[in-house]
Structure 1
Amino acid sequence: MPKKIYIVEDEKDIADIIRHYLKNAGYTMEEFDDGEKALRRIHVSVPDLLLLDLMLPGMDGLELCRLLRSEPATKKLPIIMLTAKGEETDKIVGLEMGADDYITKPFSPKELVARVKALFRRNQPDVEAAKNIQYGKLFLDVETHTVSINNKELTLTAKEFALLEYLLKRKGKLVSRDNILDAVWGMDYYGGNRTIDVHIRHLREKIPLLKTSLVTVKSFGYKLKDEK
Structure 2
Amino acid sequence: MPQPRVLIVEDERGLTQSLQWYFDREGFETIISHDGQEGLRKAQTIIPDVVLLDINLPSVDGLTVCRELRAGDRTRSIPIIMITAKSEETDQLVGYSMGADDYVTKPFSNKILLEKVKVQLRRVAGAADSSDVIEHLGVKVDRVRHKITHGGQELELTPTEFRLLECLVRQPGRAFTRHQLMDAAIGEGSIVLERTIDVHVKTLRKKLLEAGATRELIETVRGVGYRFLEASETTA
Superposition TM-score, scaled by structure 1 size: 0.54
Aligned to 2:126: 125
Aligned to 1:16: 17
Aligned to 1:37: 38
Q: Secondary structure at the match of 2:125?
A: coil
Q: By how many angstroms is 1:41 displaced?
A: 1.9
Aligned to 2:96: 95
Amino acid at match of 1:124: A
Structure 1 segments of 4+ aligned residues over 6 angstroms from their partners: none
Aligned to 1:54: 55
| Conserved 8 A contact 1:21-1:113 | no
> What are the superposed Cα offsets for residues 3-37 of structure 1, whole Å, 9 maximum, x if unpaired?
11111000011111111211111101110001111
1:28 aligns with 2:29: yes
Aligned to 1:107: 108
Unaligned 5+ segments in structure 1 are 128-142, 145-228
Q: Secondary structure at the match of 1:125?
A: helix
Q: By how many angstroms is 1:126 displaced?
A: 8.8
Instruction: Rate the CA distance shift 1:121–1:95 in 2: closer, same or farther, 3 A.
Output: same
Q: By how many angstroms is 1:92 displaced?
A: 0.5
Q: By how many angstroms is 1:125 displaced?
A: 1.5
Superposition TM-score, scaled by structure 2 size: 0.52
Amino acid at match of 1:69: R
Percent identity at matched positions?
Answer: 43
Q: Supply the distance in 1 between the matched residues of 2:84 and 2:5 (Cα, whole angstroms).
A: 21
Structure-to-structure mapping, 1:202-221, within 5 angstroms: none
Q: Supply the distance in 1 between the matched residues of 2:33 and 2:111 (Cα, whole angstroms).
A: 21
Q: Supply the distance in 1 between the matched residues of 2:105 and 2:127 (Cα, whole angstroms).
A: 31
Aligned to 2:72: 71
Amino acid at match of 2:91: D
Amino acid at match of 1:74: T
Unaligned 5+ segments in structure 2 are 131-236
Q: Supply the distance in 2 between the matched residues of 1:67 and 1:53 (Cα, whole angstroms).
A: 15
| Conserved 8 A contact 1:68-1:74 | yes
Amino acid at match of 1:104: T
